């Protein structure tokens, strides 16, 4: 936990990500709001504070709740104070691809580990484990409100295919597609660039797939393919929109 959270020498730790964001922010200071800058700076300083590291040892649940709140605050401040122009759409597009990828990974890692024996179905332990999976994706409350009883296939369907839940893979891909088209200027429903075609194929696959088809194929195999598609979209965005080759 300490390594994944605080290790400055590990590029994928939470502290390293925040340090990189804090390092990059001054280069675009004229294009972000003061509220965004302040929220990011406070978040970065929080992670550098020794008391935060101590909290990770003494009360890790409290620490990670603080990290989630700080992250959600930054997203909210960005949406509320940054003009929804090309820069905002780039930020949203990246966030949606990353969020979709992380939702698939949470589900893939936990799903088969939590599949209970016949004797365990419906027991308090079974309910607690599936609740923990949904809570990992900040999805427990909305799942209960819209799907009711905790059932493994319903959980998978909710996290993958629910069009209205903001952390489901389908919702993220649809929102990302909207921002991609806003950046390129192509009308929704058209695919005029290789990047739009990759995103469109991914969106169609999710829209026209049912949970029964996914289970028949194998959840891991389906998720693995979706992760590959997300990586391909990310690579295409980098190559065509962020670092295009010189003509």
Structural domain boundaries of the chain?
1-82, 84-247
Q: Would you tell me how many other CB atoms lie within 10 Å of the CB of residue 104?
A: 22
Q: What is the DSSP letter of 25?
A: G
The dihedral region occupied by 123, where left means phi > 0, alpha psi between -120 and 50, and beta the remainder, is beta
Distances, alpha carbon 104 to alpha carbons 45, 99, 156, 157, 168, in Å = 30, 9, 9, 11, 9
What is the C-alpha separation between 97 and 231, in angstroms, rounded? 9
The predicted pLDDT at position 122 comes to 52
Q: Where is average pLDDT lowest: 65-74, 110-119, 149-158, 229-238? A: 110-119
Residue 114 has pLDDT above 80, yes or no: no
pLDDT at 247: 44
Is residue 93 within 8 Å of 183, Cβ to Cβ? Answer: yes
Average pLDDT, integer, range 112-128 = 58
Q: Is the pLDDT of residue 152 over 90?
A: no
Q: Has residue 139 got a pLDDT over 80?
A: yes
Segment 195-200 mean pLDDT: 93
Q: Which of 149, 150, 147 is nearest to 133 (CA)?
A: 150
Please give the distance of CA 17 from its chain centroid, rounded to a whole number: 15
Residues 3, 13: contact at Cβ < 8 Å? yes
CB burial of 9-34 (b: ≥16 within 10 Å; e: otherwise) equals: eeeebbbbebbeebeebeeeeeebee
Mean pLDDT to the nearest integer, 155-183: 95
Cα end-to-end distance, the chain, whole Å: 46
Give the C-alpha separation, 72 to 59, whole Å.
Answer: 20
Question: Which residue matches tokens 């670092």?
Answer: 243
What pTM does this model have? Answer: 0.87
Alpha carbons 155 and 173: distance in angstroms, whole number:
19
Mean pLDDT throughout 40-62? 91
How sure is the predictor about 123, in pLDDT bands with cuts at 50, 70 and 90?
low
pLDDT at 117 over 60: no
SS3 246: coil
Question: What is the average pLDDT value for the chain, to the nearest integer?
Answer: 89
For residue 174, the 8-state DSSP code is: H
Please check the confidence at residue 234 and state whether its pLDDT lies above 90.
yes
What pLDDT was estimated at residue 200? Answer: 93
């Amino acid at each position: 936990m300490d390594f994944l959270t605080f290790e400055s020498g590990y590029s994928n730790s939470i502290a390293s990500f925040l340090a990189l964001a804090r390092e990059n922010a001054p280069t675009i200071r004229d294009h972000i709001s003061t509220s965004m800058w302040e929220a990011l700076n406070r978040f970065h300083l929080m992670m550098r504070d020794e008391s935060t590291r101590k909290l990770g040892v003494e009360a890790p649940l409290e620490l990670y709740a603080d990290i989630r709140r700080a992250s959600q605050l930054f997203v909210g401040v960005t949406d509320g104070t940054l003009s929804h122009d090309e820069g905002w759409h780039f930020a949203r597009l990246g966030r949606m691809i990353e969020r979709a990828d992380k939702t698939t990974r949470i589900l893939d890692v936990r799903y088969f580990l939590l599949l209970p024996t016949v004797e365990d179905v419906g027991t308090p332990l079974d309910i607690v484990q599936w609740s923990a999976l949904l809570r990992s994706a900040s999805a427990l409350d909305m799942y209960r409100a819209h799907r009711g009883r905790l059932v493994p296939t319903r959980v998978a369907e909710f996290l993958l295919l629910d069009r209205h839940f903001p952390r489901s893979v389908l919702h993220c891909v649809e929102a990302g597609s909207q921002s991609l088209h806003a950046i390129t200027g192509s009308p929704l429903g058209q695919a005029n660039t290789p990047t739009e075609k990759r995103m469109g194929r991914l969106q169609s696959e999710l829209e026209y797939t049912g949970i029964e088809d996914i289970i028949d194929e194998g959840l891991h195999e389906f998720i693995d393919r979706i992760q590959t598609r997300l990586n391909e979209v990310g690579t295409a965005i980098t190559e065509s929109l962020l670092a295009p080759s010189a003509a």
